Structure 1
């Protein structure tokens, strides 16, 4: 029975699939760990940049306070009182290394030299006129200095932060993150030197953050390869876990390949993959041969075996209980394919669908039928449910309620293959049916076997007495067609009028009739 997608695999193929299954967790796990490490480092550099900005803001807050306190002294003589005030700010304010005063853009008094040589001030050296990262002064050449300038008219006060404090902050905030302090075109790195080139762009976790109070920003990041070094230092247990899952997946794949797929599992897989398709066989009127409807037959479009005959999978589907969801899916697909062409149908076009005993355990079938009919204009189609006799349908309260609800909905009931099952007459007595479908074995005996013909005549006569419609299946010859029409059979079905066909072919043939 062709119920498995994959045929027997070679040992080489099985080994390859096992290897792929084992490698997949590793191939997926390592990039995920890399991505996680990268995100962790990005978050770390962002936090370090925030801390660096906070530290530098704190240093500049002290320089600003010192400058504010000294600004009123600008323009006064650089005597001992003024010099003492300058040195007092250096002593009282953390991080402040030196203070100076200027008048009319000329520095004339400092905390280091008192009344020294006058030197001019170039405001363009200062970013926003306030901040200058310079590479030392005559006292400490080649040593970074961050100068804060505060002016009011001709008055000016300066307070500077030694590069030692700046460099320490850059080095000590994080062991792994490289930090750069940038003020205008100049920047200071962990080497303590002021550079005038473009600031570095870090290959890992590059991040920039500007101060909201002062004209500087911090650039943070890590060197090439830092992600792998971080993973090597922090993730050994996770690497071991990934390898364990890889071995487990490989073993599981090997076991699953050895285990044969159960037919029920294959049916369920096919149902989820929408591999069960509706095929349509025309049903014609016995007198005029006009196409009056069709029977919907389920076919399995197997991805490997092609089109599978229903006798190979329908009994298994009924036995496993999967026939119920399979039939509901078939009804939905049938409605989706036929509804756009409903204008081609005659009013009350019959659509026959087989149901089994499994459908009669509850009232869900009513909802499925209501959903099916709702896809068509009112009165355009008549849904006919055909009771198969592979499983006996017990006449319980649920089944009686089910058939009553179906009749109220306008759904008709037919007994399929009438005369071949032990329950046919019992169904007539227990259920309110509308049609009998004569089994094709009786039709095939027309003109061949007298006994079978008498049974056929009795079935036709019985349907007349019970006021039931009758359908003859398996009509293949003109002689059979003529005999059945003479006997007053309502509808005919068989290869003489058309084989089961897919929806597009059925619609084309229907339009031509």
Structure 2
């Protein structure tokens, strides 16, 4: 029993906790995987969008040169104001410059006579290149885009920091670096920075039209705090779902392993088997019938005594199904003897107070008697006194119909239970069964002996036959016989045995009309 209780505790408590934890682990793993996937998609899509934006900036700047193509041959003094106007309406352009022999000869920034002497513009096959900051640009690197329109070279210069601010994504966790040729500029506008933060879930996008690439990643790894911050709603919903699943599983497991569920399982598996105890005539020791008793043949616990399950079966109403099962099994066992059983062979079944209000009992009794025809079975309904039977019109009608079927009614355990003397009249009792506790004290308890005598005298005065239970020795049997008890039952004659064992016993075969 200890092991069984321990298993019940494990099943009812540990398994729901395990279910909760498994759901949490699987859920968090799924959310984490989805978060990584979302981060990867976000980085890739944002990187591609950023590259497109930069390409659009470069295309727009070249369009300026195309629009100025018919004016590029003009002297610098005539075109310089036009260049300045174009720069003023182009937010990302720092300066527009005209180039000849790799030298700037006209600029939107400087007057013609004030163009500073600078290093020659690189002679490169790539129209796009990156140069470091100058004094004039206040430490901001320059993104240079050089192209030719009508044999005129145009150099568009972008402020690196302004351009990076323009390209910067809205998500502050995304960091990127623009690579142009062998040089690079990060999102802060730093030229060839020697240190840069570690990035996660990085993506590199190469432009199909211009010689640049952008590398982007997430600056924050998925730490527990970052994970919770980004997925707080999902985690809360997961916790609620896991709690509900754990609680529901506990309810289900509790029901599965509850005593009532175990009784239902045992009924379905026909684990309740009929044991019988013979009843003998007190005058000639002749076998006159049997009382059918329930025993639980549990697959793990073995044979379970009725005191351990009958009260629960009665309180849950499952006693009806147990009784019906016992009737069916007893009927099947007696089938082979229906032609040889002596007339008025007693077969008694215990019923509870709840069954005393159930008209389904009438049909069960009919079916039992019909299954054993042509044997003239004397069916005895033994009303137990563990619960008080409410006496109302419904109850009286049920017992009236039982008598119409020529059934007998016995009041079991008389003297110790919940019955009242009104049972004897209202329910038309046929037998009083004297409880074994009185029989056991015949020889050593004067008070119990007097109560026993009173019960026997009561039965005789109102015309009821009496059955003494628990007869264990000859002295008890002799005393009961001397007092006029009609029938005896107890270990002196036989202990309760499986019905199959009883049917093979000499006690039974001796009363048969002839061998079956």
Q: TM-score, normalised by structure 1?
A: 0.51
Separation in structure 2 between the aligned mates of residue 327 and residue 263 of structure 1, nearest angstrom: 18
Q: In the alignment, which residue of structure 2 is the partner of 1:283?
A: 279
State the aligned residue count.
290
Q: In the alignment, which residue of structure 1 is the partner of 2:457?
A: 461
Q: 1:410, CA displacement in angstroms?
A: 0.9
Equivalence map 1:170-249=2 (5 Å): none
Q: 1:8, CA displacement in angstroms?
A: 2.0
The 1:282–1:11 alpha-carbon spacing in structure 2 relative to 1, beyond 3 Å, is closer
Q: 1:424, CA displacement in angstroms?
A: 3.7
Q: 1:306, CA displacement in angstroms?
A: 0.6
Q: 1:366, CA displacement in angstroms?
A: 0.5
Q: In the alignment, which residue of structure 2 is the partner of 1:488?
A: 484
Contact 1:18 1:253 in 2 (8 A): no
SS of the aligned residue for 1:8 comes to helix
Separation in structure 2 between the aligned mates of residue 378 and residue 431 of structure 1, nearest angstrom: 28
The match for 1:412 among 408, 412, 415 is 408
The 1:451–1:5 alpha-carbon spacing in structure 2 relative to 1, beyond 3 Å, is closer
Contact 2:340 2:375 in 1 (8 A): no
Q: 1:334, CA displacement in angstroms?
A: 1.2
Q: In the alignment, which residue of structure 2 is the partner of 1:295?
A: 291
Separation in structure 2 between the aligned mates of residue 10 and residue 418 of structure 1, nearest angstrom: 40
Contact 1:438 1:473 in 2 (8 A): yes
Q: Does 1:396 align with 2:415?
A: no
SS of the aligned residue for 2:504 comes to helix
SS of the aligned residue for 2:450 comes to helix
The 1:464–1:506 alpha-carbon spacing in structure 2 relative to 1, beyond 3 Å, is same
Q: In the alignment, which residue of structure 1 is the partner of 2:338?
A: 342
Q: Does 1:328 align with 2:327?
A: no
Q: 1:491, CA displacement in angstroms?
A: 0.6
Equivalence map 1:19-418=2 (5 Å): 261-378=257-374, 380-418=376-414
The 1:3–1:263 alpha-carbon spacing in structure 2 relative to 1, beyond 3 Å, is farther
Separation in structure 2 between the aligned mates of residue 327 and residue 4 of structure 1, nearest angstrom: 29
Separation in structure 2 between the aligned mates of residue 266 and residue 288 of structure 1, nearest angstrom: 44
The 1:424–1:492 alpha-carbon spacing in structure 2 relative to 1, beyond 3 Å, is farther
Q: 1:443, CA displacement in angstroms?
A: 0.7
Q: In the alignment, which residue of structure 2 is the partner of 1:438?
A: 434
Separation in structure 1 between the aligned mates of residue 247 and residue 358 of structure 2, nearest angstrom: 43
The 1:254–1:364 alpha-carbon spacing in structure 2 relative to 1, beyond 3 Å, is closer
Separation in structure 2 between the aligned mates of residue 498 and residue 318 of structure 1, nearest angstrom: 27
User: CA deviation digits over 1:459-509, x for unaligned, max 9?
Assistant: 111111111111000000000111111222111000000011111110112
Separation in structure 2 between the aligned mates of residue 9 and residue 253 of structure 1, nearest angstrom: 14
Separation in structure 1 between the aligned mates of residue 308 and residue 431 of structure 2, nearest angstrom: 27
User: CA deviation digits over 1:418-443, x for unaligned, max 9?
Assistant: 11124241211321010000011111
The 1:364–1:455 alpha-carbon spacing in structure 2 relative to 1, beyond 3 Å, is same
Separation in structure 1 between the aligned mates of residue 493 and residue 391 of structure 2, nearest angstrom: 36
Separation in structure 1 between the aligned mates of residue 370 and residue 392 of structure 2, nearest angstrom: 28
Separation in structure 2 between the aligned mates of residue 492 and residue 11 of structure 1, nearest angstrom: 48
Which structure 1 residue ranges, 4+ long, deviate > 3 Å from structure 2? Answer: 2-7, 9-12, 14-19, 248-260
Separation in structure 1 between the aligned mates of residue 257 and residue 465 of structure 2, nearest angstrom: 44
Q: 1:9, CA displacement in angstroms?
A: 8.5
SS of the aligned residue for 1:282 comes to strand
Contact 2:440 2:470 in 1 (8 A): yes
SS of the aligned residue for 2:421 comes to helix
Separation in structure 2 between the aligned mates of residue 400 and residue 476 of structure 1, nearest angstrom: 36
Q: In the alignment, which residue of structure 2 is the partner of 1:8?
A: 7
Unpaired segments ≥5 residues, structure 2: 19-243, 512-516
User: CA deviation digits over 1:228-255, x for unaligned, max 9?
Assistant: xxxxxxxxxxxxxxxxxxxx99998798
Separation in structure 2 between the aligned mates of residue 16 and residue 359 of structure 1, nearest angstrom: 38
